[in-house]
Amino acid sequence: MLPRTRRLRRSGDFTETFRRGARAGTSSVVVHVAVGTMNPPGATRVGFVVSKAVGNAVVRNRVKRRLRHLVASRDEQVGADVVVRALPPAAADPGTLVEDFHSAWERAFRRATC
């Protein structure tokens, strides 16, 4: 589990990240990154969106756990808000999810910091 200080929890934070953020996507994941938010320096906050289209509650929670693990392994000290949105293919293959996540994460941060 991510610490409370590293999580997006309010609806307004999600909306602001979607509106202002750079976006990069793959077949199973879309990552939105908004740099320059009012976070303390080095505090990257992350939120997850996994809709019912991904699967039933068990499948959605499994996808969220996998995504949380992938985010926890990244140590970005940018001070950004990040929303990771899972698409229906995210439930299919864990290996593909890992590759797609890392690819989308890198591209979104590159676009947001340029």
Domains defined for the chain, CATH in brackets: 4-113 (3.30.230.10)
Q: Report the distance separating Cα 71 and Cα 45, nearest Å.
A: 10
pLDDT of residue 111: 94
pLDDT of residue 113: 85
Q: Where are the alpha helices (DSSP H) in the chain?
A: 11-20, 57-73, 94-113
pLDDT of residue 73: 86
Residues in Cβ contact with 1 at an 8 Å cutoff, skipping those fewer than 6 apart = 68
Q: Report the distance separating Cα 56 and Cα 40, nearest Å.
A: 36
pLDDT of residue 37: 66
pLDDT of residue 39: 67
Residues in Cβ contact with 37 at an 8 Å cutoff, skipping those fewer than 6 apart = 16, 17, 45, 79, 80, 81
Q: Could you list the pLDDT tens digit for every one of the 114 residues in the chain?
A: 788 888 999 999 999 999 999 999 999 999 999 987 666 666 789 999 999 999 999 999 999 999 999 998 887 667 899 999 999 999 999 999 999 999 999 999 999 987
pLDDT of residue 2: 81
Q: Does the predicted model carry a pTM greater than 0.85?
A: yes
